Amino acid sequence: MDPGGATHVATARSGSTAGQVGVQIHQTRRLPDFLQSVNLKYVKLGYHYLISNLLTLCFIPLIIVTLIEASQMDLYDIQQLWLHLQYNLVSVIICSAVLVFGLTVYIMTRPRPVYLVDYACYRPPDHLKAPYHRFMEHSRLTQDFDDSSLEFQRKILERSGLGEETYVPEAMHYIPPRPSMAAAREEAEQVMYGALDNLFANTHVKPKDIGILVVNCSLFNPTPSLSAMIVNKYKLRGNIRSFNLGGMGCSAGVIAADLAKDLLQIHRNTYAVVVSTENITQNWYFGNKKSMLIPNCLFRVGCSAVLLSNKSADWRRAKYKLVHVVRTHRGADDKAFRCVYQEQDDKGKTGVSLSKDLMAIAGGALKTNITTLGPIVLPISEQLLFFSSLVVKKLFNANVKPYIPDFKLAFDHFCIHAGGRAVIDELEKNLQLLPIHVEASRMTLHRFGNTSSSSIWYELAYMEAKGRIRKGNRVWQIAFGSGFKCNSAVWEALRNVKPSRNGPWEDCIDKYPVKLVS
């Protein structure tokens, strides 16, 4: 969980005088300045291509010289080479044996590729929609909130980036609300089974073929577990490796995928299903502590089910291949550990409290994460610039700002966890992204709200529905969660990806992107 719109304060509108000055400055901008900025852009682009292809450029002269020498060899030179090999037959056999042995060991021990065959995101029925006016009216009629809390929730909703069509569970539509264990189970069954039914229908995989099951839900952990509920519903086989992850926040979807990836390295020729969701029914806060009211305004119903495979035959039909997973955990720091904290208020009402330091802590976790991720995904040109800036800062001028790598050179698409408007704004600014790069995150937040760990899959589904995923494209999924954690997953498209049937955007993609109120 994260603060989203809570830390996003509205900025005052500029006065007419300032606007006129801005227009004058824009109108008087000199052409040479514009040309200089364009030239710098192309200089950097040329530098990137030069460094990225430097090894190839160095090999070209060597290849040319080799071809020239080979073309000048006569029959006598070839006979001498053959005699030399005959007299050194033992060396040739030993070298060949070592080469074959090494190649065999590499093939047997190399990591198995993990394919994402397909995934499904749950789309709730229309009667669960919670537009602003209904949300506020229900909050007022429950009589649990004082006037100050109602006004606070209204402001959060206005600045949150959520639209009028997000969903809350059935129990929250009653007056007064009816949270219970039975209602929470019903919500969990509805979202998980809805996503899994769609996944099995689209992939034609039989439930009995599933060898690994990983379920993550942070705040609802009944007995029997959610994973056991799925095993019971679909009659999965008795030797299935099932895992249930709890209390790991909005970044648990990446953690679950990483666990499934590791298991697929051990258990060969099988499928793994990862189910990511959050349960709202029993975790709605009915108190008046401001920091604990924010999740009510941001979190909404959602679930994703992902089918992973290590079968070599599945690369033909798979959508993506998992390339990297990088996980960062800041739990050793007390402030980071307590910034998203489930507790009781002074009236004994349970909720999740969000610290005012959360955005700063998330920024630190992001910095650590991309410091690890950068060297394995960025082109050498960006790594050289980053390293050079660090050397200059260390040796010559401590005031020099470190170079911010251009992650747009490493990734084609970005799935930033739709935790809230402030989260998306902060990453757009810090990573120097363009509006198109955060469009999927903003539209997912607008249409579905913060669906916790499944939000990154709704975002990927948005880009597929828009027809933007092409063969070879790399997708960066990045999510934050309690603990405090920042986790990244990198996927490579194996083909031009089309949206799956019954996708979450199927009935509304033509309406997006929508213009958001600032």
Question: What are the residue numbers of the active site?
Answer: 250, 329, 413, 417, 446, 450
**Please, where are the H alpha helices in 275-339?**
290-298, 334-338
The string over 329-347, giving b where at least 16 C-beta atoms fall within 10 Å of a residue's C-beta and e elsewhere, is bbeeeeebbbbbeeeebee
The Cα 499–Cα 210 span in angstroms is: 23
Look up tokens 């590499």; give the residue: 106
Distance CA 261, CA 247 (A): 21
For 453, other C-beta atoms within 10 Å of its C-beta total: 32
Q: Give Cα 59 distance to the centre of its chain.
A: 38
Taking alpha carbons only, the member of 188, 270, 280 closest to residue 233 is 188
Single-letter amino acid, residue 433: L
- Classified as helix, coil or strand, 322 is strand
> Among 191, 203, 189, 201, which residue's Cα sits nearest to residue 272?
203
Q: What does the block give as tokens for 423?
A: 């989260």
The Cα 207–Cα 385 span in angstroms is 50
Distance CA 210, CA 188 (A): 20
In 3D, which of 280, 79, 327 has the Cα closest to residue 186? Answer: 280
Helix, coil or strand: residue 480: strand
Instruction: Name 401's Cβ contacts closer than 8 Å, sequence gap at least 6.
Output: 389, 393
- Beta pairing class for 271-277 and 210-216: parallel
| Distance, CA of 190 to CA of 71 (rounded, Å) | 72
Q: Would you state the structure tokens that stand for residue 385, as one six-digit string?
A: 């610039």
Strand pairing partners for 487? 327, 479
* Cα 224–Cα 450–Cα 479 angle in degrees, nearest 5: 85
Distance of CA 329 to the CA centre of its chain: 16
What are the distances in angstroms from CA 459 to CA 260, 312, 456?
A: 21, 27, 5
CA–CA separation, 483 and 361 (whole Å): 11
Separation CA 144–CA 509 (nearest Å)? 37
Please provide residue 284's backbone torsions phi and psi, each rounded to the nearest 5 degrees: -80, 135
Q: Are strands 115-121 and 340-344 parallel, antiparallel or unpaired?
A: unpaired
Task: Read off the tokens for 48.
Answer: 């990137």
Residue whose C-alpha is closest to residue 494's, from 323, 270, 376:
323
